Structure 1
Amino acid sequence: MRVSGVLLIILIFGHLFVNLMLGEGIHGLDFGFVAGKLASPFWQWWDVLMLWLALIHGANGMRTIVNDYVTHKGTRKVLVWALWLSAGFLILLGTLVVFTFDPCIPNLSDGSVLTEICSAQG
């Protein structure tokens, strides 16, 4: 928990700095910005690591709360299983979204940078 907490602080503040402080700040956040970030393997792994650590860290914290406050053994077991299953599902789903994201799927005809990139790819 301590290691994931420290790593999460670094990842989250790095994420916030790049998204909000560099470039146009919050006004520059749009589909094109996200598509550009997710086109880079570095940012894909950054976001996936942040997702994995946040979900595991959060699920483990919730497990601790369930173990502390739920007294019935059967209910505790069901809740802990539900926590880990939901965390696992969200990790799987989030990972698939990050690594299979294709910005060229929407019909882009507004003359944006993505229109040029997508038309050049084929």
Structure 2
Amino acid sequence: MTALSFEKPRSSSKIDSKYTRSKGSGGNFEMMAWLFMRISGVVLIVLIFTHLFTNLLVGEGVSGLDFGFVAGKWANPVWQFWDLTMLWLAMLHGTNGVRTIINDYTEKDATRRWLKLILYIAAVVIVVLGTLVIFTFEPCMLAPNGEPLPGAFCP
């Protein structure tokens, strides 16, 4: 009977060199990003559940959600700030999470740079457009004859 023989394992230097990056991770930045994810997650839970409670359970519920409801809600600066905070935190939280995934799973530096560039551009576009919608929202839509459209919120 012959004994089983195994090949010599690869040296750890070959394995480690495959997964090392040309630049070290930004120590303090990564710690702050980790802390931001925890804090923003807790704040987002409060923001989102209050948003859902206000929109779905108070008043007429889902059937009451229409243009007039949003217009009436955004006529109050508190709700504009609330939705703006929710938008910004959700986008920053999600962008940071996807950035972490990109860092963890991409091997090539060039691929990592391009993916993160696309991610950051998309996040900025969504935040800018969302902010513009919240602050330039016109609740009093008028028909060509000057009469308010059905569902318009005109004080």
Task: Give TM-score scaled by structure 2 length.
Answer: 0.70
Q: Find the counterpart in structure 2 of residue 45 from structure 1.
A: 81
Q: CA deviation at 1:84?
A: 1.1
Q: Give the 5 Å matches for 1:8-87.
A: 8-87=44-123
Q: CA deviation at 1:82?
A: 1.1
Which of 79, 84, 92 is equivalent to 2:128? 92
Specify whether residues 25 and 73 from structure 1 end up closer, same or farther in structure 2 by C-alpha distance, changes over 3 A only.
same
Q: Find the counterpart in structure 1 of residue 140 from structure 2.
A: 104
1:100-120 CA distances to partner (integer Å, 9 max, x unpaired)? Answer: 10112343344x572x52xxx
Q: Which runs of 5+ in 2 are unaligned?
A: 1-36
- Give the partner amino acid of 2:113: K
C-alpha root-mean-square deviation of aligned residues, in Å? 1.4
1:25-78 CA distances to partner (integer Å, 9 max, x unpaired)? Answer: 111111100000111100000000000000000011000111111111001011
Q: Which runs of 5+ in 1 are unaligned?
A: 118-122
Specify whether residues 68 and 109 from structure 1 end up closer, same or farther in structure 2 by C-alpha distance, changes over 3 A only.
closer
Q: Find the counterpart in structure 2 of residue 120 from structure 1.
A: none
Distance 2:105 2:40 in 1: 24
Q: Which runs of 4+ in 1 moved over 3 A?
A: none
Distance 2:39 2:60 in 1: 33
- Give the partner amino acid of 2:107: T
Which range is displaced more, 98-107 or 42-51?
98-107
